[in-house]
Structure 1
Amino acid sequence: MDKVQAEKYLAYCFYLAEQGSGSVSPNPKVGAVLVYDGRIIGEGYHQQFGKAHAELRALESVKPEDVHLISKATLLVSLEPCNHYGKTGPCTELILKNKIPELVFSNFDPNPLMAGKSIRLLEQAGVKILGPLMEHEGHQVIREYVCNVANQRPYVILKFAQTADYFLGKTNTRTKISSFASDLCVHRWRSEVDAIIIGKNTLEIDNPLLTTRHWAGKNPVRIVLARIARDQRLKWNAFNKDATTYDLDDLGLEDAYSVENLLAKLFDLRLGIVMVEGGAQIFSFFQKSGIWDEARIITNKELKIGEGLAAPSIRGHLMKSITLDKDIIHYIAKNRPY
């Protein structure tokens, strides 16, 4: 398969991989296709943590009348296949067992102990290799996993809504800023992360549910950076039975000031992606620590309130912007995208 043709199929692999958002963390999102003579005969993606990998899904999707083509097909995958026994068997073994003659991949495994091992093994076994290709696009798909491996902590997203004059809201008063369309978007984001973090002020002023009730998907774990007596928890929506909730005592933390300690605890709980939803003091802790990876800022272009809680000033690299109703949403990466 030539490079131009391979990149077209890899772009589809990236699309497939993204379908696993919210279900595979702390594993990486991966998509795969099997192509024979310009036709996709199998496709799949990693759908759930601990379950079948994308390569197996692609093989299982091949129709009975096309099974004989597998040994003549090219396997394209968004990430270097695994070569170890974990919750599933190694994908390299699967490739060799099915006599797949050619592999195209986008990125090497970001784990330095694993990077390139699968490719070398397959090459030595006679499999034709093309890659890495489209590394920037492939890296974007697995950026959360790369952060987990490189930093041994969750990928951190700062999310907030601000007025046109850059306030989070009025002091000690619940202020509705974003549109319903943006709320839907936020609920989708929640379905794609492992945990949401809020502080005591947000709990007491907004009394949020922190669920995905407007979107089909799992509810994330809720982290409240305060000490809430057990006999007082049921008065707060964030402690209802819709999802698991931890406060400082549950996490064994003395206070909310050490972002490093907090993230270490969350990583121990296998929470690979977290979204910080406020309030101002919690945003301040993360900004001062310098430990965050992405910001998603919803700005109501029409609403001005004159005074209140100042919104964080975020510096980074704009990845994209979208408009929803009266809001504009900026996606900002702390570091320049790979």
Structure 2
Amino acid sequence: MKLLFVADPLEQFKIYKDTTFAMMREAARRGHDLAACEPRQLRWERGGRVSAQVRDIALTGNERDWFVVRGTRDAALADFDAVLMRKDPPFDSEYFYATHLLEQAEREGGRVFNRPRALRDHPEKLAIMEFPEFIGPTLITREAQDIRRFHEEHQDIILKPLDGMGGTGIFRVGPNGMNLGSIIETLNQGGNQSVMVQKFLPQIAEGDKRVLIIGGKPVPFCLARIPQGNEVRGNLAAGGLGVARPLSARDQEIGEALGPILQQRGLLLAGVDVIGECITEINVTSPTCFQEIQQQTGCDVATLFVDALEQELKKLKTLLRL
């Protein structure tokens, strides 16, 4: 197969932990051809197909210079067997426009994973609100008075921006309400920005678990990201310690409930974040943790992913022949 990865610059990859690299390595091991481009290289000209300036690459097996460029060319996205959208957040206007270009490539016969429309329809924090039976007390609002009421009711709360990533912009406010006004002003920008407010879950001390769902099925191990020191955030980018664990009964229940729904919507891969027994986010843009889980448990998550990708492509080809 010919695979195109739409991602951040390859030169910036930290291959010892990068999930996109793990996908590439497993695909290359199976003999698939690899190409890569950045979202900024996507283009659509009148009368033509969505295309990009792509680099055909080969993996070297070296840690430092981990890839070589075999050639650079213009290519229509629909000419690849699969296009994998792996651009990291933030989900800003340029990411939004990229999904529209990718959706046009789908109309031209391209096969994009995760599907562009599904990426747009599942904002990673808002998406949890569809599953109230699996989440803790949560509020989405711009209004300061709503946040104050929520704090008065639940006493210990977490506030975060809807477009944050890696734990950026997350605040905890305890029963004394210290700095709540200032935090509200910082996050809601005078009522111009929506804020997510959640009841603080003390189980964060045991880790913010990343439950991966591939092809509608939960991976049997999760990565618990445990806050260090006085930090309230477990995100690896914020210094959290990643510890792989088998799924709990509740994790399995969540994965089995959400998996078929997400798969049906075109989300081949999703990362569901769970604290205690509650979902806190559903990550769909470029879920990670493949390598950390494999290194600690031996569960080859990249193999599970490429298996699911190949099965999905076979299914699509069968449907086209009907």
Q: Point out the structure with max Rg over C-alpha.
A: 1
> What TM-score comes out, normalization by structure 1 length?
0.29
> What TM-score comes out, normalization by structure 2 length?
0.30
